[in-house]
Structure formats: C-alpha cells, structure tokens
Amino acid sequence: NFFVESYRRSGRYQKYIAAEFRKAGLPTELSWLPLIESGYKDKAFSRSRALGLWQFIASTGYRFNLKRDPWIDERMDFQKSTKAAIEYLTFLHDLFGDWSSALAGYNCGEMNVVRAIRQQREDYLDDFWDLYTILPAETARYIPRFLATLYIIKNPAKYGFTELTLDDPMQFDEITVTKQMKIRDIAEAISVAPDVLEELNPTLRQQITPDYAYTLRLPPRTGNVLTARLDQ
C-alpha cells in the first residue's frame, strides 16, 4: 500500500525532478529517492525532524540554502528542495566516489560513513557493501530498499503491481507578493477552496504570506485575478 500510494503521488513531481537531475548530469534514477524518503509527501516529518520530499534536517537545509524562519520552511518546497538535494548528492558523490556510498551519506550523514570507512583495516576507499555491517541499521536497509524500488518501477507487473496510477503533474500560476495575507483571504478573493492554496504552498508555516517578497503559487489562470485584487 505504501508503494502504491507513493507511486501515485510521484506523478505530481517526478517529471520535474527527473528533468532537473538530467540537467545537472546526475543519474535520473536518483529522482525516485523521495519514494523511500517521504513517499512523495511534501510535509513528511520524521522522528529525526527531517522534513519534506527530500527529508532535510534543518542544519543540512541551511547548508544548501533552504530558508527557514517563522513564516516559511523551504524544505517543503519541491522545487527548491530538489535543487538542494542535487547539490548535496553531487557533494557526496565527489566525496565518496560512488553512488551507493553517496546515498548512504545522504541517509545517515557523511561523517557517519567517513567514520565507518576509518574503521576498516584495508587502506582503500570502501563502497557501501564493504561497510554494510557497520553502518546504522536504517542505512543498511536504505540502499537495498532504493534498488528494490528501481526494479519495481522498471517492471511493476513482474512484482505484482498491476494497477498503478499517477496523479497529474503540479500546475500553477506564480506571482510575487510582498505583504502579509491570510491564505483563506486569498482563496476567497480568487474563489477557490483554502486547502487548494495550502496544497500549492506547503512552505507557508502559518498559512500567512511573509512580510517580504514571496512567490505565491495559485491554481492555473487565477494569477491575474489575484493581481487585480491585491490592493483590496
């Protein structure tokens, strides 16, 4: 059930994420990582306080320019967090030299993988399978889970997934606003349900736009409507 629901939600983001990975020169298979990270839930929150599609903890988010203040948390923005994930994965691959170790570092932090490498007697750069037994248990499961995900996606019927469906890709207008407004007031101004705006703007922590420039997402063909009514 988790796989079926996560795969369905992937339709909202996957094409965008895969295109960004392709542009960055990274393997497009990595664009499926959010399936095991968050189930493609942009508000997913873990016991270790990791948040968003890509499950950044706050400190790692800061390292890769994801803003967090009383009004917004960009870890929940699928576009900005994807950019941050690409930068972090690129850094990890440059550090370790192979993708399995890079992914282990993404899951448990690069210093945990570095310490595991230092525990090895052999004087060479180990890959994930050499370190498998001394990494945290969650990380030891993480790479096999990701590989299993890729196998299933490439041939779902072989593994018993015969009725997979995809949500439609996210579509929206964007306008820049510079004053504080409640989501419910914006929704009333453009005649949509407040939860539609909340879903398009998960970054907003209090359902209020901040008192500085913010790119607000709106349902398609409603941007001009709000622009005309902003002064009200």
Residue 42 · residue 78 · CB < 8 Å: yes
Say how far apart CA 40 and CA 106 lie, in whole Å.
Answer: 17
> Which stretch of DSSP H or E encloses residue 217?
strand 214-218
Name the β-bridge partners of 135: none
3-state secondary structure of 169: coil
Q: Dump strand ranges (E) for 150-191.
A: 173-177
Residue 136 · residue 162 · CB < 8 Å: no
Name the β-bridge partners of 182: 208
Residue 194 contacts by C-beta under 8 Å, 6 or more apart in sequence?
Answer: 183, 184, 187, 207
In the set 37, 110, 122, 198, the catalytic residue is 37
| 37 given a catalytic annotation | yes
Active site residues: 37
